[in-house]
């Protein structure tokens, strides 16, 4: 048994917070590739809905990969996976990428499945977005499955599972929290003083977000900030993608490094709450502004308070 297989023999799955910024999700993709990807893997299954960050994660895991469903709307044609016979063996790519949801609009799924198996027989690797859609036609699981929702799920399936549908169910139900949290996070930035917005960094908490400030907390009235964000939620303002560095909030430009990971309008944010104190992190000398979303956001904030008390981290 190869060393890599022995290393992951008893591994069921790993969970990571799914970052919302481009650079952070690239970095996590590199980490996942380093820890879990084997040179012997032939089928890499990626599962998740539109806007979850699948393509960014793939770019992080496979730097330099040519995606056939480019984020700028450029779709590679003809699809290289379907053109294997026309390629000389010497110049054939080692790794193919395919977005099954998109390609099924043009090609029968059994044809795509046959092309995937042809690439595997030739010793190639295939990265398959929306793997759950092609799985019934492949009749085999991926060597590595990665699901992207509020969390990123990494698993190496065996013949006993987990099945792609199990991973899909996990990430599909959690993704709305990530979209709501990211939009609420950007609204907090949007309504805080500009000098504070320029200083804040980003971190993650389940069903919420963290804005961190090094060395000292900013001068922000958290009650007023929560009220302004809640007013924007009540007014159901439009949120739209502008470019890879910006979103539009009710027609006003706002910087964002994860511009596709948002709800369509602020009214879709449920249960927004802010913790009314900054939490001091003594390990990194930073001050944390914590927000939560969802039906149980107050319970989530209470868990943050309890965790702080349990770990003796002071609130400032």
C-alpha distances out from residue 191 to 33, 79, 84, 229, Å: 37, 45, 53, 7
* 97 in Cβ contact with 67 (< 8 Å): yes
Which residues face 315 on adjacent strands? Answer: 279
First to last CA, the chain: 54
pLDDT in tens, the chain (316 residues): 444 555 556 677 899 998 888 889 999 999 999 999 999 999 999 999 988 889 899 999 999 888 887 655 556 677 888 887 766 555 567 899 999 999 998 999 999 999 999 999 999 999 999 999 999 999 999 999 999 999 999 999 988 889 999 999 999 999 999 999 999 999 999 999 999 999 999 998 889 999 999 999 999 999 999 999 999 999 999 999 999 899 999 999 999 988 989 999 999 999 999 999 999 998 899 999 999 999 999 888 888 777 766 555 555 4
Provide DSSP, the chain: --HHHHHTTT---EEEE--SSHHHHHHHHHHHHHHH--TT--EEEEE--TTS-HHHHHHHHSTT---SB-TTS-B-SS-GGGGGGGS-TTT--SEEEEEHHHHTTTS-HHHHHHHHHHHHHTT-EEEEETHHHHHHHHTS--SEEEEESSEEEEE--BTTB--HHHHHHHHHHHHHHHHHHHHHHHHHHHHS-HHHHHH-EEEEETTEEEEEEESS-----HHHHHHHHHHHHHTT-BEEEEETTEEEETTEEEE-S-TTSS-SBGGG--S-EE-SSPEEETTTTEEEEEEE-STTHHHHHHHHHHHHHHTTPPB-
Write phi, then psi, for 188 (nearest 5 degrees). Answer: -60, -45
Closest to 203 (Cα-Cα) out of 315, 265, 262, 287: 287
* 71 in Cβ contact with 55 (< 8 Å): yes
pTM greater than the 0.75 cutoff:
yes
Residue-range domains of the chain with CATH: 3-162 (3.40.50), 177-310 (3.30.980.10)
* 210 in Cβ contact with 200 (< 8 Å): no
- Is the four-CA dihedral 120, 123, 128, 131 of positive or negative sign? positive
């Amino acid at each position: 048994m190869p060393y890599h297989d022995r290393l992951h023999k008893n591994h069921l799955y790993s969970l990571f917070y799914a970052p919302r910024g481009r650079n952070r999700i690239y970095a996590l993709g590199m980490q996942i590739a380093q820890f879990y990807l084997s040179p012997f893997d032939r089928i890499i299954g990626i599962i998740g809905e539109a806007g979850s960050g699948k393509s960014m994660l793939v770019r992080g895991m496979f730097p330099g990969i040519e995606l056939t469903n480019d984020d700028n709307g450029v779709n590679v044609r003809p699809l290289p996976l379907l053109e294997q016979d026309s390629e000389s063996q010497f110049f054939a790519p080692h790794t193919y990428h395919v977005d099954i949801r998109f390609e099924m609009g043009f090609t029968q799924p059994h044809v795509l499945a046959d092309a995937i198996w042809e690439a595997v027989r030739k010793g190639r690797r295939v990265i398959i977005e929306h793997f759950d859609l092609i799985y019934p036609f492949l009749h085999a699981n991926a060597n590595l499955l990665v699901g992207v929702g509020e969390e990123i799920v990494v698993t190496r399936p065996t013949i006993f599972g987990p099945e792609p549908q199990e991973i899909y169910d996990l990430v599909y139900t959690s993704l709305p929290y990530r979209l709501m949290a990211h939009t609420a996070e950007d609204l907090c930035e949007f309504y805080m003083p500009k000098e504070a917005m320029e200083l804040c960094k980003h971190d993650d908490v389940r069903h919420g977000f963290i804005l961190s400030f090094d060395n000292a907390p900013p001068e922000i009235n958290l009650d007023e900030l929560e009220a302004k964000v809640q007013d924007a939620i009540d007014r159901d303002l439009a949120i739209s993608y502008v470019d890879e560095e910006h979103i539009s909030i009710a027609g006003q430009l706002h910087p964002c490094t994860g511009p596709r990971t948002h709800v369509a309008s602020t009214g879709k944010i449920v249960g927004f709450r802010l913790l009314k104190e900054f939490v001091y992190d003594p390990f990194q000398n930073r001050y944390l502004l914590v927000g939560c979303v969802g039906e149980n956001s107050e319970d989530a904030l209470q868990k943050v308070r309890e965790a702080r008390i349990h770990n003796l981290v002071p609130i400032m």
